[in-house]
Structures are given as C-alpha cells and as structure tokens.
Amino acid sequence: MAESGRIARAEEALHTEVEGSVVILHSGDGIYYQLDGVAVRVWELLAEPMTFESLLAALLSEFEVEPERCRSDLASLLEELEAHRLVVPGGGALTAAGGKGDGGD
C-alpha cells in the first residue's frame, strides 16, 4: 500500500458500527466486511482523507506499539482494504513506498 498521497474511504463503502466492530457493505459488489480492534480506529480516522504518515502518527499517539510494527500492520490493513475497494486514493496518488506521489499532507 502506498505511503504517499491521501487515502480515503470509497464512496461505495457503506458502514455501521455493531457491538464495537465496523461492518462495511461494498455497494458495488454486495459483499460485507467486518473490522475489529485497531482497524476500527483506522476506519474512524479515514472519515476524512489522510496520508499514511498521518494515520501512522495518530495510531502511535493512541496505542502502545513499536513504530515499525505499527507501520507494517497499517500497511497490511490498507493493502487489504484497497484490494476490496473499500479505500481509494483521495487527494493525491497512492503509490508504493519509494514511488512517486504528491507526498503532501
């Protein structure tokens, strides 16, 4: 997943909270997804488009976790969300780490 550019929730990703989890329906394919734990917080943070680094900084300030572990786990989560078309580039190009992008925040 990209570490430059902004990341946003996909317009087709309709969601609701259910007992501490977030259930997401992708309206384009009709498939439901469920997020738990820290992934719920990532989804909440993505209410507004954010950069990877901004998401990472927010998580590091809220949770006791090693920075590299947080970076790796966040990248994996965002890759999975992107693969299911639940998040999309928003406000800048999403590129692989070291790739081109606007790099802005």
| CB contact at 8 A, 75 and 87 | no
Percent of the chain with pLDDT over 90: 79
29 in any annotated domain: yes
pTM of the model: 0.81
Residue 74 lies in a domain: yes
Distance (Å, rounded) from C-alpha 12 to C-alpha 81?
12
The CATH number that applies at residue 46 is 3.90.930.60
User: 98 versus 62: which is more confidently predicted?
Assistant: 62
Question: Which helix H or strand E contains 18, and what residues bound it?
Answer: strand 13-18
pLDDT tens-digit profile of 6-47? 999 999 999 999 999 999 999 999 999 999 999 999 999 999
The residue segments making up the domain with residue 53 are 6-88
C-alpha–C-alpha distance, residues 26 and 4, integer Å: 25
